[in-house]
Chain A
Amino acid sequence: QKEVEQNSGPLSVPEGAIASLNCTYSDRGSQSFFWYRQYSGKSPELIMFIYSNGDKEDGRFTAQLNKASQYVSLLIRDSQPSDSATYLCAAENTGNQFYFGTGTSLTVIP
C-alpha cells in the first residue's frame, strides 16, 4: 500500500516553460508535505514544504496543497536545464513518519 503516489514521468518541458509536478497521498493524517530534488547519484535536497491549504511561493517554485483532494503539486516557473532532476514528494504524518513517492523525472530541454 503506497502512501504517496507520483507520476514517474519522464516529464519534458522546454527551457523557460512552466513544469508542473503532481503528488497524491492516501494517509489523511498527513500534515506536512515536502518537495525534494535529487540529481542522479546524489542525495535529496529540500526545495520547499507546505502544510496549509493553498499556494506557497519561493522564487521560481510554487507549492500547492489541497487537503480535501489529498493532492500536492509543485510548479517550476521559467524552467532551466539545471532543474533537470528527479523530484520527490514526501508526506509527514502526526507520528513524524515521512513517506516518499517514487519521484518524477524532469528534463528541461534547452
Chain B
Amino acid sequence: NAGVMQNPRHLVRRRGQEARLRCSPMKGHSHVYWYRQLPEEGLKFMVYLQKENIIDESGMPKERFSAEFPKEGPSILRIQQVVRGDSAAYFCASSPFRTLNSPLHFGNGTRLTVT
C-alpha cells in the first residue's frame, strides 16, 4: 500500500531553467495539495487540485508557476525560469475525498536547489 510518491527527491536547476516536480497520490486518492516549505518555516499552501481540475490556486504565484493533475498520471508542479528564491522543499499531499476531518497524507517532498 504505497504512500504518496514524489520525485525526484532532489532537483538542482540553474537559474532560468525549468523545474518539473511530480506527485503520485495514494491509491484511491483523487485530491492533491501542493505546499512549499522554506527552512525553519511552515508549510505554505500553493494549489489544490482534483483530477483534471484546479480547485484553488490562490497560493501559487501567477507568473512562472503552474500545476496540473491529469486524468491519467501524476500531478505535476511546473516552475519555469527558476530563480534562486524558488529554492525550497515542495511537498505534495493527497486525500481520498474532501469532507471535513479528512487528513492529508504527505509525500517525502522534492528539495529544489537553484544555482
A: residues with CB less than 8 A from B are 4, 6, 31-32, 34, 36, 42-46, 49, 51, 88, 90, 92, 94-103
Contact at A97–B106, with CB atoms within 8 Å? Answer: no
Work out how many contacts link A and B, with CB atoms closer than 8 A.
Answer: 57
* Size of B's binding interface in residues, CB under 8 A: 22
The A-contacting residues of B in range 1-46, CB under 8 angstroms, are: 31, 33, 35, 41-45
Given known contacts A99-B45, A101-B42, A102-B41, A32 and B100 CB-to-CB distance under 8 angstroms: yes
Which listed residue, B45, B105, B107, B109, touches A98 by the CB 8 Å rule? B45
State the majority secondary structure of interface residues on B: strand
B: residues with CB less than 8 A from A are 31, 33, 35, 41-45, 48, 55-56, 91, 98, 100-101, 103-109
Measured between alpha carbons, how far is A46 from B106 in the docked complex, in Å? 9
List chain A residues, Cβ under 8 A from B31.
Answer: 96
